[in-house]
Amino acid sequence: MGGRGTGARERMAKGDRAMMPTGHGKRLLALLVIALAVRLGAAVWWQQRLPPDLRFGFPDSESYWHLAGCVARGEPYAMNPDRQVFRMPGYPLSLAPLFMFTKNPPVLAARLLGAVWGTLAVAGVGLLAGRLFGGRAGWLAAVAALLYPGGIAMSVFVLSEAVFAPLMVWQLVLWVLAWKAIDPRRQFLLGLAAGLTGGAATLVRASWLLFTPFACGTMGLQRGERSRAIRLTVALLVGLTSAMLPWWVRNWRVTGAFVPTTLQVGESLYDGWGPQATGGSDMRFVDEFRQRLQAEEAGVPRERLEGTFETRLDRRMRDAAVAWAAENPWQALRLAGVKLWRIWSVWPNEPSLAHWRFGLVVLVSYTPLLILGLWGSWRFAVRGWPYGVCLLPAIYFSVLHMVFVGSIRYRQPPMLALIVLAAGVVAGWWQGVERRRGQRNAANCRAEPAVGGDT
């Protein structure tokens, strides 16, 4: 037992030294300054290329913008009386300070704020890679995250990924630190922080809710670490629940029912499972469901209706989606494959992004990172759970969006975790080249004839 504990402490100390301020740490700080500059420049460029009459490039942005204004003005958090649990509050809360001093802040300000969040994501990627593979890998990972076009784009679009991606990465950072900590109290506190961060990420993107329980389940499979896994699972779930509880209480007061995320789940499910489903998103059916339900309920006394109109509409679309999938299992299975391809495609699948130049940028920047990341997940899996956790977001989002809809948008956050594994592979190659070079130099020195000697 003593020898095992000593070895563990030595491994932890070695990992800690890899994260100490060194030349790599200074380079990482310089890279963060460059990452911020790149994202600020991208924000200005993107805003300038939009037509004057178009504030946003994506329809979702309008709802986030409206809700941010509601938060800042102290108005009810709702799109309208029938859409009170439509969006998670995290991203609108992050935008709300922009509305404190003006009713109509410039959209560019939101993009610049996203650039700051995107820089935090780069920092998290670099720190996570450094913690797992050493300072050189941390530097390589930060460079890759800095330059990755998908990461840059998600930073400057007015979409929830701008805030979600850094929160996701930092949850993984805290989780790995908690796993590697020796002191049980430190383990619990770091695990609690990871759970709180995961809850914050879920309050930004509802789809993240099940990731923490899913990853805790895989953590429990680690041999010989059951007590550590149980301790961290408790801490993570306490943190996640604590972060989500205010939202759950608010939703209960608004709807009279437990709503863990939003009442957009039903329409999102029907978007992926329905006679009109193609694998992509087309929400035009929502108005039809809404009008049909309103017609059915016309003249029905309010006391005879269960819940709010919003909850009933969500349930109607959810039930319709499940019924369609049950009646058309092979079609649902085919769609799952289509969605999986759409998520991980090497070429953009949205018609508006299908220009060959944009496609070439995606192909060249994304494909090598994906291959190296998958290679790293296979190569480093034997080292234990902290290395495998970098693959889990990719697995989680793949399964999730095989049910809902698929788009390259949804792969951008998990790609940041795969960059960590890719950096570990490249750092290993680099170290191998240096080791072989040193061995050759040593061999050449031994083979050189001695100079001078007795005469």
Give the residue-averaged pLDDT of 392-421.
Answer: 96
- Count of CA atoms in the C-beta half-sphere (13 A) of 350: 14
pLDDT, tens only, 369-379? 999 999 999 99
Contact 415, 374 (CB under 8 A): no
Average pLDDT, the chain: 89
Residues with Cβ within 8 Å of residue 399, at least 6 apart in sequence: none
**Alpha carbon distance 331, 338 (integer Å):** 10
**SS3 at position 451:** coil
**What tokens does 177 get?**
């630190």
**Alpha carbon distance 270, 325 (integer Å):** 10
Query: Residue 47: is its pLDDT beyond 50?
Result: yes
pLDDT confidence bin for 12, thresholds 50/70/90:
very low
Contact 178, 219 (CB under 8 A): no
For a pLDDT cut of 90, what percent of the chain falls above it?
A: 73
pLDDT, tens only, 62-71? 999 999 999 9
Question: What local confidence, expressed as pLDDT, does residue 21 receive?
Answer: 44
Question: What local confidence, expressed as pLDDT, does residue 11 receive?
Answer: 45
Contact 424, 380 (CB under 8 A): yes
How far is residue 201 CA from its own chain's centroid? 8
pTM score: 0.90
pLDDT, tens only, 298-352? 888 887 888 899 999 999 999 999 999 999 999 999 999 999 999 999 988 776 6
Question: What local confidence, expressed as pLDDT, does residue 300 receive?
Answer: 86
**Alpha carbon distance 165, 128 (integer Å):** 14
